[in-house]
């Protein structure tokens, strides 16, 4: 029996569309499944639960950060060790700000380059 699906067409800001593409590519999943999972996390009994996190940074462990980004723990640890992913080590323990991870995920790749790299790239273009 075919899965019961309803088409949904959405216009997203370019930054969010790019972040969605990046997330789908990095996880190897189709965008419709990524969006469905993200919505399922936010929907409860037919109503959208909006959580206001303004001013309150939720601190995540390594495992929680991996769950949020839907990536293996080892991938998160390796990315944090290289400085690609924003996080802090306290001995063997890692902590991540949820908002920093989401900002990083939706961010512009050019903004994460070092200034010398960005300047060299713009000279090449």
User: What are the boundaries of each domain within the chain?
Assistant: 13-49, 65-125
> How does pLDDT run across 24-73, given as a tens digit for each residue?
888 888 888 888 877 776 665 455 555 555 544 589 999 999 998 999 99
Query: Is residue 124 pLDDT above 80, yes or no?
Result: no
The reported pLDDT for the residue numbered 8 is: 82
The pTM assigned to this predicted structure is 0.45
State percent of the chain over pLDDT 70: 69
What is the distance between the alpha carbons of residues 43 and 16, in angstroms, rounded to a whole number?
A: 19
**Nearest Cα to 28, choosing from 73, 70, 78?**
70
CA-CA distances (angstroms) from residue 60 to 40, 44, 57?
A: 21, 23, 9
């Amino acid at each position: 029996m075919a899965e019961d699906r309803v088409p949904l067409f959405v216009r997203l800001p370019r930054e969010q569309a790019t972040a969605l593409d990046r997330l789908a590519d990095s996880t190897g999943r189709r965008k419709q499944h990524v969006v469905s999972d993200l919505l399922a996390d936010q929907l409860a009994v037919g109503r959208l639960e909006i959580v206001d996190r303004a001013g309150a940074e939720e601190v995540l462990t390594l495992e929680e950060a991996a769950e949020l980004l839907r990536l293996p723990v080892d991938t998160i640890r390796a990315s944090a060790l290289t400085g690609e992913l924003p996080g802090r080590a306290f001995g063997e323990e890692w902590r991540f700000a949820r908002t920093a991870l989401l900002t990083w995920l939706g961010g512009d790749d050019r903004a994460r380059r070092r200034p010398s790299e960005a300047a060299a790239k713009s000279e090449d273009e």
